[in-house]
A and B are shown apart, each in its own frame.
Chain A
């Protein structure tokens, strides 16, 4: 999992789920804010016809922040929604992944979080699959 992937995972994770895993790690690193958590909007674009030129569909809420650990590692976060704690925890994970705690954070938080989110996604896909129409053709027998 590279940085782009873990930042995306942390952005999409439900705040309560991330909070659970973060508490499980039991880490309380000292840090200073470079940018306090700030909620804002991002204009989401779509494509005409699904594949053509872009247009503005509407906005979504996003919270961003940046912080520095005492080691100097800088963590950034852009997470969906307006939960400041979600953004703070995501930025702390991002910063810790750049230092000695990376292995602990990866196995204790990122990997199980990814597994849990994949399981939610799989269960949804399985429910959709059960509603797939199986067509059959009635063959008229002539005998």
Chain B
């Protein structure tokens, strides 16, 4: 039976009007503006930029306001907006070795050249609620010290000099872009890194944690974690030269993992890599661990059947917009689908009853 369902327009309109009122909350409390969210909820803004895969702090802050703080809904808004933008081109690869670091730490080398720079970190806080923040608080200015000039070298470069760690081969190949072509397997590392960089922080975190607990063996050290700003440069065809088109904040994590080697090549440390928009270090570390786990084939390791080694599993499920789109669609009207299920179950029961009756006679 075909059932056309119409109606609900007024209910939908009124639901959206109530949503707008609820978003505003108690009107005796001052309204948040977008700049306040951008400045004071910066890490939420960073997460929305990273998973929305669009670097624009003002837009991310607006999305958070519109989504009432539901960050996945905010990511959804950013992804939808992104599709309306014409693509001007691709940048040159950013050079993170030239990053102006706000933070740069190594868990492997205490005396790393350039030093251990903590930056504005939650590390070493006591995780006690600070009730002073509930009242208006004047913040004393941060301390300053003379900065050393020049860029801070990557720590893996030092290991590399001695041949102790795998080299990353540079290439000029145009990387695949999953926003342009559908994901196909097997995926190469470039595609995996793109998917992980925009993947859900919680999902990537859980997978990374599973590798630490023994599901895929790749004991990782954080060789280096850095957060800071890099310029973005692009070739401009009408000018015939490249210019900087802006500057973005990035978090980069390089892990140093256990060895690969063979009869012909001596043992070497291997690498995992995480690079994420904004100050997003939990995500960057997790990304590096999952990147490393997914490299089992090229490094000649065994597939232990762990989830984090299964690129189809990881890449097909790490996108929270795809996931939530499919998950949440089941709450929308399925009256017709369900009606056919209902008829089927009634028929099966009727048939079973008839068989039982016949057997009894």
Contact = CB atoms under 8 A, between A and B. Distances in A.
Our verdict on whether A and B bind, yes or no, reads yes
A33 interface: no
A50 interface: yes
B239 to A, nearest CB: 6
B102 A44 contact: no
Contact of A49 (B172, B248, B271): B271
B243 interface: yes
B143 interface: yes
A130 B189 contact: no
B92 interface: yes
Given A40-B85, A45-B90, A52-B169, A133 B245 contact: no
A57 B58 CA distance: 19
A58 B169 contact: no
A119 B25 CA distance: 40
A4 B239 CA distance: 10
Contacts, number: 235
Contacts of A124: 100, 102
B246 A12 contact: yes
Interface in B169-206: 169-179, 189-191, 193-194, 197-198
Nearest to A81: B56
A57 B194 contact: yes
Contacts of A45: 90-94, 175
B115 to A, nearest CB: 5
User: Which of A40, A51, A64 counts the most B-chain CB atoms under 10 A from its CB?
Assistant: A51
Contact of B103 (A11, A42, A53, A128): A128
Given A48-B168, A81-B56, A58 B277 contact: yes
B117 A53 contact: no
B57 to A, nearest CB: 9
B282 interface: no
Contacts of B194: 55-58
Contacts of B157: 51
Nearest to B90: A43
A20 interface: no
A53 B169 contact: yes
A42 B142 CA distance: 35
B286 interface: no
Contacts of B121: 131
B85 A123 contact: no
A80 B169 contact: no
A131 B244 contact: no
B89 A130 contact: no
A54 interface: yes
Given A46-B275, A51-B170, A62 B245 contact: yes
A121 interface: yes
Interface stretch (B229-237, B318-326, B341-349): B229-237
Interface stretch (B2-10, B144-152, B208-216, B304-312): B144-152
Given A42-B89, A46-B94, A58-B50, A80 B243 contact: no
Interface string A1-21: 000100110011000000000
Interface string B90-117: 1111111100111100000011000111
Interface string A123-142: 11111111111010000000
B297 to A, nearest CB: 16
Contact of A8 (B92, B148, B243): B243
B88 interface: yes
A38 interface: yes
Contacts of A58: 49-50, 53-55, 194, 197-198, 277
A61 B273 CA distance: 25
Contacts of B171: 52-54
Interface in B264-307: 271, 273, 275, 277
A66 B236 CA distance: 12
Interface string B248-270: 10101010000000000000000
B173 A128 contact: no
Contacts of B100: 121, 124-125
A120 to B, nearest CB: 11
A91 B169 CA distance: 39
20 contacts: A42-B87, A45-B94, A46-B197, A47-B96, A47-B170, A48-B168, A48-B273, A49-B271, A50-B96, A51-B97, A53-B170, A55-B189, A56-B178, A56-B179, A81-B56, A123-B144, A127-B102, A127-B144, A129-B147, A132-B115
Given A41-B87, A44-B90, A57-B193, 6 more contacts: A43-B179, A48-B193, A49-B271, A55-B189, A56-B90, A78-B243
